[in-house]
């Protein structure tokens, strides 16, 4: 009979409750308890090992996909840079030859003006306030954490430490 990890956990909790609630009148021998615990724990170890194997397979798949994404991203960036180089070379040639339009059998190639863009020539302190965008302040959690670690008395924050499973 195969039971799930959840069912095994529930059975172990029920056994624990039964042992905590039993009194001397109940006919539960020490051997019965040991046999039950060993059987359940053996199943639990088997299930946990199976879960750890599934987790490791998923982790391996994730890492392989992530590695492939990075590799393909590098290729995509390289292709994007090559496209820009070809476009720049074409534009440079057209500018030097004073040809703003070139028609081929497959393409119409021309130089077009881009939309205007703004360049700021002064430091931000010299820009009038009506041209500045106010933003919500952001909390510097790294600085607060470091100050708490350094012993600074911070009354508006505290450090919490959670737990998570580690499988090696």
94 pLDDT more than 60: yes
State the average pLDDT over residues 108-119.
90
Would residue 67 count as lying in a domain?
A: yes
The lowest-confidence range among 55-69, 78-92, 154-168 is: 154-168
Q: What's the pLDDT at 96? A: 96
What is the percentage of the chain residues whose pLDDT exceeds 90?
48
Domain count, the chain: 1
Would residue 153 count as lying in a domain?
A: no
State the average pLDDT over residues 137-165.
89
Q: What's the pLDDT at 58? A: 85
Structure tokens at 150: 């350094």
Would residue 77 count as lying in a domain?
A: yes
Would residue 119 count as lying in a domain?
A: no
- Give the tens place of pLDDT for each residue, 18-65: 666 666 566 666 676 677 667 666 677 777 777 688 788 889 999 999
Q: What's the pLDDT at 27? A: 65
Q: What's the pLDDT at 55? A: 85
Average pLDDT of every residue of the chain = 84
The model's confidence at residue 16, banded by pLDDT at 50, 70 and 90, is: low
Would residue 64 count as lying in a domain?
A: yes
Would residue 104 count as lying in a domain?
A: yes
Residue in 11, 56, 64 with CA at minimum distance from that of residue 36: 11
Would residue 165 count as lying in a domain?
A: no
State the average pLDDT over residues 93-102.
94
Residue span of the structural domain in which 70 resides: 5-112+124-148
85 pLDDT more than 90: yes
CB 13 within 8 A of CB 36: no
Q: What's the pLDDT at 20? A: 61
Q: Write the CB contacts of 33 (distance below 8 Å, at least 6 apart in sequence).
A: 15, 19
State the average pLDDT over residues 59-85.
96
Between residues 77 and 135, which one has the greater pLDDT?
Answer: 77
Would residue 167 count as lying in a domain?
A: no
Q: Write the CB contacts of 154 (distance below 8 Å, at least 6 apart in sequence).
A: 144, 147, 148
């Amino acid at each position: 009979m195969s039971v799930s990890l959840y069912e095994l956990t529930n059975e172990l909790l029920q056994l624990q409750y039964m042992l905590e609630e039993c009194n001397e009148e109940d006919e539960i021998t020490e051997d019965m308890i040991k046999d039950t615990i060993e059987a359940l724990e053996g199943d639990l170890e088997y299930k946990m090992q199976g879960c750890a194997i599934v987790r490791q397979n998923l982790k391996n798949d994730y890492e392989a996909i992530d590695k492939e994404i990075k590799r393909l991203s590098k290729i995509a960036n390289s292709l994007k840079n090559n496209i820009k180089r070809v476009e720049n070379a074409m534009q440079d040639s057209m500018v030097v030859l004073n040809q703003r339009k070139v028609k081929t059998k497959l393409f119409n190639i021309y130089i077009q003006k881009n939309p205007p863009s703004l360049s700021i020539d002064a430091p931000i302190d010299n820009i009038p306030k009506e041209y500045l965008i106010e933003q919500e302040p952001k909390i510097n959690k790294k600085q607060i954490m470091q100050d708490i670690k350094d012993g600074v008395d911070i009354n508006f924050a505290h450090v919490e430490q959670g737990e998570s499973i580690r499988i090696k």
